[in-house]
Amino acid sequence: MNFRARRLFVLSLPLVVACGGSNTELPPPPSKVTPPPAPVAQAPAAPAKPAYPQFPKKAVTDTYGDTKVVDDYRALEDPKDPAVVAWSDAENAFARKMLDGDPQRSAVASRVGALMGESSPQWDGLVQKKGNIFALERRPPKQQPYLIVLKALDSTDKERVLVDPNAIDASGGTSIGWFAPSPDGKKIAVALAKGGAERGDVHVFDVATGKEAKDVVDQAEGAGEGMCLAWKSDGSGFFYTHAGREPNVPKDGVYQRIYFHKLGTPIEKDSLALGKDSPRIAQWELESSDDGKVTMARMEYGDGDKWDQYILMPSGWKELATKDDCVKTMKVGSAGELYLLSSKDAPRRKVLKTTVAAPSLEKAETVIEMGEHVIDAILPTKTRIYAIEGIGGPSRVVAYPLVKGKAGAAEPLATPDVSSVESLVSLGGDDIAFASESFTSPRAWFKVAGKDGSVTKTALASTTKADFSNVEVSRDQCTSKDGTKVPMTILKSKSVKNDGQNPALLWGYGGYGIVIAPHFQAYRLAWLEQGGVYAIANIRGGGELGETWHSQGNLLAKQNVFDDFYACAERLVEEKLTNKDKLAIEGGSNGGLLMGAEITQHPDAFCAVVTRVGIYDMLRVERDPNGRFNVAEYGSVTDPKQFQALYAYSPYHHVKDGVAYPAVMFMTGANDPRVSPYHSRKMVARLQEATSSDRPILLRTSANTGHGIGSPLNAQIEERADIYAFLFRQLGVTVKK
């Protein structure tokens, strides 16, 4: 479900030439001939900008309260306009000519491809039901992960492929968004999406035979998100999320609701179960207990990480908590307990307990108080509550023993330093499994024995040919503009010296309460082995330090995110890990907005920028099909204070003529359902017009991908090869073979 060499181009001020006549009378000619004066040194001419494709400006003026805002490139918002298509194609051709013409790209692509295309499998999304263990297996060079079933974690010899999108679609354009097995482990629902889309058609398969049933739910919500389907305990049908099922509901992803499908009946007869009066920006998720006897639902208000919580009682659905109660998730215990993860008066979260039989938030008791670290997730078992604790980005597993219904002191389990943990999975009794990885070690699944808390690596452990043994990982922090201490992680080879001459790449996101945790990517070695420094900023807006960390970086406080990131960049320079002429930055989606803000607020602080699927026009984004869901995070232009905050940092509106902007590569997918590609088109057109620099501003558009979810392996390799080749060229790195 997840980010700064010598300049190749010398900057100089434009040569100013005064034009026009003069009324001054010329002096008389000299009385005698004198030698001509010595030649006067001419100021060097300004470097010429590349000959970018041109798109005609046509001003459109919008009025927000008393503020008039002119938009010269509004026409680029229409993806069907032939002029827009032609310009976009020309920009892509311009970018491809520069990228493909780079003499180092072939070597970079070869190295990146070797690192990303290695044969070791990786397993994600582990679920156990009645002795069947299901997982998505990713095994390069296959283009997409496929669904497997196996009986135990100690061997993969008898794993069996259930659904393989590579066999369904040899082009790699079809992906598995999510899957949900029935409580008895005999059936499984699988969402298949195409071309980078995030809605998929749900197909039902028999686990024993692999045979597909006739039941197909078209365009269900949640592909790539998970928690969007819950089976009935007897496996006779399932609840699912969908937008636009009724004839009078718009078909643009709004008004999500929950429906019930009984197996063997026409989809047209599916009944509305919950959400009839839910708001336009409702986003529903579903979950059930291990045995399927308890079904829960939660509704998020847009992307604001605020939830209403529901539980299905014999009498029907009961609302247990509203968004103001700050309950994030609910989990069912083995003896009918209902555990609630809450941030009410506890920004690093606490755990409450009520019962499934008579659920009551008012009568719930606190079983785990808020502690020093953030509780990111919980899993109750027979005699314990396991929890994932976040520590500013990295995380670990702790176990709270239950004694007479009360939780004892936390007992940390053995996990690697500066690593991340996710996906706590019940294996029955007090046994669980969890996945862990670090920046230098690939993902592995571990089994925890409930009887003694011992941790054992299972057979579902990825290996890598990428040798990170010479890479050191350190945690550092910088001081932001307002004095806030901001953590970040730094990766570099042990031989790299703090001499200020290293190429460096700083990655950031900072939004939606998302934790940027240690994550293994083999391709990073292609950067590090060229003497590069790689840094990850855990800036505000994320959830690394709890709910307060998030709220200090959204809505009216969004500028803190940009200040934090800039402070991290300054820290790399102060520590002599790099200098501003060898510093590059990268981010995507909300991190693309971050890149746009850094480009416009600190254009001289970085040599090169890679920004992927980003938002740049903050005054128009809420008009987009998915943009209305982002209002909870960014705000709305209809609110005067929020408008002023949005307008104050909106990257598109702060591009200034005559500024020497850094080299920038914008990357977008034509099928992006989350961020409309026009944001990249408008920002590129404006920057190309405004910059006084000869450093390139490129627009790379992928015709067959979206926001990045479900992209085939080859597309991922090509994207990363373009990024590193572009950055190496701009930072003056001669690639060592």
pLDDT attached to residue 45: 56
CA distances for 139 relative to 88, 142, 144, 246, 706, angstroms = 34, 6, 8, 40, 22
Tell me if 157 is assigned to some domain.
no
Tell me if 338 is assigned to some domain.
no
pLDDT attached to residue 719: 94
Question: 193 phi and psi, to 5 degrees?
Answer: -120, 155
Tell me if 625 is assigned to some domain.
yes
User: Are the beta carbons of 589 and 614 closer than 8 angstroms?
Assistant: yes
Integer Cα distance of 215 and 258 in angstroms: 17
Tell me if 604 is assigned to some domain.
yes
Q: Show the beta-strand stretches assigned E in 46-121.
A: 60-64, 67-71
pLDDT profile of the chain (737 residues), mean per 10: 24 26 32 40 65 96 97 96 96 96 96 90 93 92 92 92 93 89 95 77 94 88 64 94 74 82 93 91 91 94 91 96 96 95 97 97 96 96 96 96 89 90 93 96 95 94 94 97 98 97 98 95 97 98 96 98 98 98 97 98 98 96 89 96 98 98 93 83 98 97 69 88 97 93
Length of the chain: 737
User: Are the beta carbons of 663 and 730 closer than 8 angstroms?
Assistant: yes
Integer Cα distance of 381 and 386 in angstroms: 8
Q: Residue by residue, what is the 3-state secondary structure of 161-188?
A: EEECHHHHCCCCCEEEEEEEECCCCCEE
Residue where the block lists tokens 């085939």: 712
Mention every residue, 6+ apart, whose C-beta is less than 8 A from residue 249: 243, 255
Q: What b/e readout covers 304-341, taking b as 16+ CB neighbours within 10 angstroms?
A: bbbbbbbbbeeeebeebbebebbbbbbbbbbeebbbbb
pLDDT attached to residue 4: 24
Mention every residue, 6+ apart, whose C-beta is less than 8 A from residue 167: none
Tell me if 708 is assigned to some domain.
yes
**Is 646 strand, coil or helix?**
helix
Tell me if 301 is assigned to some domain.
no
Q: Is the dihedral of CA 549, 550, 552, 553 positive or negative?
A: positive
User: Nearest to residue 55, comparing CAs of 29, 81, 30?
Assistant: 81
pLDDT attached to residue 431: 95
Q: pLDDT tens digits, residue range 276-301? A: 988 888 889 999 998 899 999 999 99
Mention every residue, 6+ apart, whose C-beta is less than 8 A from residue 247: none
Tell me if 602 is assigned to some domain.
yes
pLDDT attached to residue 675: 85
Helices within 582-706 (DSSP H only): 590-601, 631-634, 640-649, 678-690
Integer Cα distance of 201 and 218 in angstroms: 4
What is the extent of the structural domain holding 682? 65-114+477-731
Q: pLDDT tens digits, residue range 194-222? A: 876 667 889 999 999 999 999 998 877 76
User: Nearest to residue 295, comparing CAs of 276, 279, 269, 274?
Assistant: 274
**Is 443 strand, coil or helix?**
coil
Rg of the chain over Cα atoms, rounded to whole angstroms, equals 28
Q: How many domains are contained in the chain?
A: 1
Tell me if 253 is assigned to some domain.
no
- Domain containing residue 529: CATH number: 3.40.50.1820
Q: Which two tokens stand for residue 561?
A: 């995110």
pLDDT attached to residue 196: 65
